[in-house]
Amino acid sequence: MKILTILGARPQFIKAATVSRAIVGHNESNKDEIREVIVHTGQHFDANMSGVFFEEMGIPSPNYNLGIASLGHGSMTGRMLEGIENIIHREKPYSVLVYGDTNSTLAGALAASKLGVPVVHVEAGLRSKNMSMPEEINRVLTDRVSSLLLCPTSIAIDNLKLEGYPFPTVGKSPQEMARIGDVMYDATLHYRERAKQTVALEKWGLIDKEFCLCTLHRAENTNNSERLDSIFKALRKISHSIPVVLPLHPRTHNLIEKFGRREWLEGLVILEPVSYLEMQRLEMGAHSILTDSGGVQKEAYFHRVPCITLRDETEWVETVQMGWNYIVGSDTDKILAAFHKVGEFTDCAQNPYGDGMAAQRVPQLICNLK
Ligand code: UDP
């Protein structure tokens, strides 16, 4: 049984690492062998945004690389659609596996569903309820054409039910949905010990130091110079008390250059994007994390580090409900107020993100697909 996996952006490599390993495990003990053909759309292409994850996390090398990057949403998604459609014709897969909420996700889902190939969506059912986010548009459309909706949390299942899912037909069969748990939680458990062995803290002079870790790349922040200005003002103020470490996303870097505002970064510890293991080590050692990333919000909780989210809403509402995540948006004063409250976060025993076996459920569910 052949499946086509569509990848393109950093968080997808991390999610796919656990599922690809689970597919290998499945093949060792099952007669229904799954052959995975990997398509890299090229959306993220720098060594530190792509290659390093394949090497470090042992992801099989892509069979195809479409090399489509640095374009607007329309041309990027359109060219991906065309490229993926050609590969589907050539490879004739049994199903197409897509992850998360990027343009690569949407292109994979559209190309496959229009050719009648069942789509499997890992991380289905997430909603920020903000339809002006490109990621939300990608999520909503991908879910609608997917045959198998693999949800990380019970809230994701509830979101789909509220929208009338599962629909009676997608292609020729009814849609199926399952709560499998969070594949990024699986990754955290799998790589945690290796992350502790890295010298990330030593490398950046952070050993035994209190520091804040920050990531910033979401369009709602990076495309808006007022929001960026307000966020960086807060980060610079925090850096007067403890170092603020910011592995800078290439998009954010380019937009800071475009706005001509390099002074925003003064006093901050600016790094190139770091590898997954280094990032986990930084997260584990951080006093607190400020981020607009979806994945980093969750990882902050996995490592029990308080998180301050630089967005107006989140898909990962469990982290907020459990008291580990403050949603503050871009307002300088709100960010600083949350930073000063950080010590008031309390630990909590529940884990809504599953049992660390989410990825292992994927191959069998794909085999059961009608
Ligand atoms: N990450 C990383 N290096 C970095 C920044 C982030 O490895 O310099 C990892 C992070 O630990 C998480 C994932 O990238 O696993 C999150 O991806 P990103 O923030 O790009 O996307 P999002 O989760 O918002 O979709």
Which band of pLDDT confidence, cut at 50, 70 and 90, is reported for residue 347?
low
At residue 246, the pLDDT reads 98
Q: How far is the CA of 148 from the centre of ligand 1 (A)?
A: 25
What pLDDT digit, counting tens, does each position of 67-118 carry? 998 899 999 999 999 999 999 999 999 999 999 999 999 999 999 999 999 9
Is residue 61 predicted with pLDDT exceeding 70?
A: yes
Give 9 Cα–ligand 1 centroid separation in angstroms.
9
**4/113 Cα distance (integer angstroms):** 13
Round to whole Å and give the CA distance between 326 and 340. 12
Mean pLDDT (the chain) is 95
Q: Cβ(10) to ligand 1 under 6 A?
A: yes
| Residue 344 predicted with pLDDT over 90 | no
- pLDDT for 256 equals 96
Report H helices in the chain: 10-29, 52-57, 73-91, 103-114, 134-145, 154-162, 183-197, 200-203, 219-222, 225-238, 250-259, 276-285, 294-302, 317-321, 332-341, 358-368
Residue nearest to atom 19 of ligand 1 (CA): 293
Annotated catalytic residue, options 121, 217, 249, 287: 217
Q: What three-state secondary structure class fits 36?
A: strand
282 confidence band (pLDDT: 50, 70, 90): very high
The DSSP letter of residue 45 is -
pLDDT for the residue numbered 350: 77
d(CA 251, CA 97): 26
Q: Does ligand 1 come within 6 angstroms of the Cβ of 318?
A: no
Q: Is the CB of 296 under 6 A from ligand 1?
A: yes
In the chain, pLDDT over 70 holds for what percent of residues? 98
Indicate which atom in ligand 1 lies nearest the CA of residue 218: 24
Q: Give me the sheet containing 325-327, strands edge to edge.
A: 269-271, 244-247, 212-215, 288-291, 307-309, 325-327
Residue 345's alpha-carbon distances to 156, 163, 185, 213, 287, in angstroms, are 25, 33, 21, 17, 12
pLDDT for res 345 = 63
Is residue 299 within 6 Å of ligand 1 at its C-beta?
yes
Q: Is the per-residue pLDDT at 370 higher than 70?
A: no
pLDDT at 127 over 70: yes
In this prediction, residue 181 carries a pLDDT of 98
217 is known as an active-site residue: yes
**What integer pLDDT is reported at residue 70 of this predicted model?**
86
Q: What is the distance in A from the centroid of ligand 1 to the CA of 317?
A: 18
- Spatial strand order of the sheet with 95-99 comes to 64-65, 35-40, 2-7, 95-99, 119-122, 148-151, 176-179
- Which residue puts its alpha carbon closest to atom 3 of ligand 1? 274
Question: In angstroms, what is the span from residue 11 Cα to ligand 1's centroid?
Answer: 6
pLDDT digits (tens, 9 = 90+) for 21-46: 999 999 999 988 999 999 999 998 89
What is the reported pLDDT for 346? 64
Residue in 7, 10, 50 to alter for ligand 1 test, most ligand atoms within 8 A of Cβ: 10
Q: Establish whether residue 295 lines the binding site of ligand 1, counting it when its CB lies within 6 angstroms of any ligand atom.
A: yes
For ligand 1, is residue 14 a contact (CB within 6 Å)? yes
Contact 102, 139 (CB under 8 A): no
Question: Across the strands, what pairs with 38?
Answer: 5
Please give the number of the atom of ligand 1 that sits closest to the Cα of 9.
20
Percent of the chain with pLDDT over 90: 93
Closest atom, ligand 1, to C-alpha of 100 = 25
Q: Which two tokens stand for residue 192?
A: 């945690």
Query: What DSSP line would sit under 167-235, residue for residue?
Result: PS-BTTB--EEEE---HHHHHHHHHHHHHHHS-HHHHTT-TT---EEEE---HHHHT-HHHHHHHHHHH
* pLDDT higher than threshold 90 for residue 58: yes
Nearest to 149 by CA among 134, 161, 135: 161
Task: Measure 112 CA to ligand 1 centroid, in angstroms.
Answer: 27
Q: Would you state the pLDDT for residue 254?
A: 94
In the three-class reduction of DSSP (H, G, I as helix; E, B as strand; rest coil), residue 263 is classed as helix
As a whole number of Å, the end-to-end CA separation of the chain is 13
Residue 278 Cβ < 6 Å to ligand 1: no
Tell me how far apart the alpha carbons of residues 66 and 76 are, in angstroms, rounded to a whole number.
11
Average pLDDT over residues 336-345: 84
pLDDT at residue 348 tops 80: no
Q: What is the CA(10)–ligand 1 centre distance, in A? A: 6
